[in-house]
Amino acid sequence: MSASAASAAKMTKASNLRKRRFPYTQIACDECRRRKIKCTGENPCKGCRDIDAVCLFERQTRFRSADRRG
C-alpha cells in the first residue's frame, strides 16, 4: 500500500467515525434541561425513559437578540 492510499484509508475511517455522532436536537425536554444531559428529542426521550420520568416540552426557549453586543 502506498503512502497516499494509506492516508486516504485513514481519512475514510475518520469520516465514518464522525457520521456516528449522536445528532443534536433543537429543543431539549424539561427533564434533560434540568439534569443538563443530551436529549434525543423523542417523546419520551431516552433520558426520561431510563429514569421513568414524565417527558415534557413545556419550557420556553429564550432567544438572544443579535443587537446586544456592547
Residue 68 lies in a domain: no
Domain that holds residue 51: 23-61
Residue 7 lies in a domain: no
Detail the DSSP E strand segments found in the chain: none
> What sign does the CA torsion over 46, 47, 52, 56 have?
negative
Distance CA 64, CA 60 (A): 13
Q: What's the distance, CA 10 to chain centroid?
A: 25
Q: Work out how many domains the chain is built from and give that number.
A: 1
Give me the amino acid identity at 39: C
Residue 66 lies in a domain: no
The grid coordinates listed for 26 are 433543537
pLDDT category at 28 given cuts 50, 70, 90 is very high
pLDDT category at 59 given cuts 50, 70, 90 is confident
CATH number for the domain that contains residue 31? 4.10.240.10
Residue 33 lies in a domain: yes
Q: What pTM, to 2 d.p., does this model score?
A: 0.54
